[in-house]
Amino acid sequence: MYEVPDGYQQEFQDKYGVRTDLAIEAHEVIVEREGPPEIPGVIIENEHTEHANICRVTIESELGAKMMGKMPGHYSTIEAQALRQHNRDIHQEIGGLLANEIKWFIEQSGLGPEAVILVVGLGNWNATPDALGPKVVGELMVTRHLIQLSPPELRKGLRPIAAIAPGVLGLTGIETGEIIRGIVGEVKADAVICIDALASRSINRLCSTIQISDTGINPGSGVGNKRMVINQETLGIPVLAIGVPTVVHASTIVSDALDIIGGEDPERKLQAEEMPQKTSFAVDPQAIMGSAAQPNADATTAQTAPGAMSREQKRQMINQVLEPYMGSLIVTPKEIDELINDVANVIAGGLNSAFHEGVDYDEIFKYLS
């Protein structure tokens, strides 16, 4: 597996002015800005169901990794707006889709039915947008201690599962990666599955998208807190990462808003124009972007107008405006408590189903809170 320098992701952010942990969004940004639907070394496969869209991204080369700002490997993304609806039946269906994706990753990792899997719930349980990992761990069927005490005839269909929510560096004073590395050695885990909250570039994807990847994870990278990387290179065993975007950066929202006003994103601009106007603005939005589009504008005004800025200049302007007060501001939905509980149940149900084939799928979701 290639080792992608941290600079790749930073280069992507600097070039496009977008911060995202999702491979599907990185691909969308490149296609929107560069034009060609195909990216060298990147394969896209899409599947659609009644309530969800599944996009599988495979990054095969170092060139593709550099362009995408992501590690080479497999990324499966389940998009379902129904995740934001409190509908138990639909959530159970999405949990089944997630279970199928997880099973595929487990098979690709060459893990047998007796392989011990350690599930790690990353994040801070005291901060709701970051509490996804600990909440999922609380709903898992952990069986490692039971299987060791059970006769072989009672173990059929149950995989030895251990789980931990190690907290964050600010609570423990210990790098999460160091904790995991120590536990892996003690429990003799054959694989690790990390669950964490991610950052998205789109408000619409918050708590409605689940990404599974086999490239490991860098805790805190989505909000600028880079920690020890947790992957196969650092632990010596396969590492899967399951993440759900729960926050979006304020700078990304501002950048997208400027693109819409400036007409750089025609599709989203059209959507914005078609939305019912609840208020009337005294100022023409085009005036905000300067008079570059006005025939009577002088050359000086046109050159200095934000609409005439390059993306790099626009990014620097946004950072300059936001940095003194809210440069690191991240935004999350006001109903985040309910959304986190629902998506945590979906992920826990999917994991339990993928791990324990001997347990009836319909029964799994009955025991989730």
Per-residue pLDDT of 161-184, as tens digits, reads: 999 999 888 888 888 999 999 999
Q: Could you tell me the two tokens for 68?
A: 């995408």
Contacts of 282 (CB under 8 A, 6+ apart): none
pLDDT at 288 over 60: no
Report how far Cα 107 is from the mean position of its chain's Cα atoms: 22
Residues in the chain: 369
- Class of the CATH domain delimited by 6-251+332-367: alpha beta
Contacts of 27 (CB under 8 A, 6+ apart): 39, 42, 44, 57, 68
Q: Could you tell me the two tokens for 225?
A: 């807190």
Element (H, E) at 300: helix 299-304
CA dist., res. 312 & res. 57, Å (int): 28
Q: Domain residues of the chain, as ranges? A: 6-251+332-367
Q: CA geometry: angle at 24 spanning 207 and 259, to 5°?
A: 85
202 pLDDT band, cuts 50/70/90, is confident
Contacts of 325 (CB under 8 A, 6+ apart): none
Q: Please count the other Cβ atoms lying within 10 Å of the Cβ belonging to residue 147.
A: 16
Mean pLDDT, residues 324-329: 64
Supply the DSSP string of 99-147, one letter for each residue.
HHHHHHHHHHTT--TT--EEEEE-S-TTSGGG-HHHHHHHTS---HHHH
pTM over 0.85: no
Element (H, E) at 352: helix 336-355
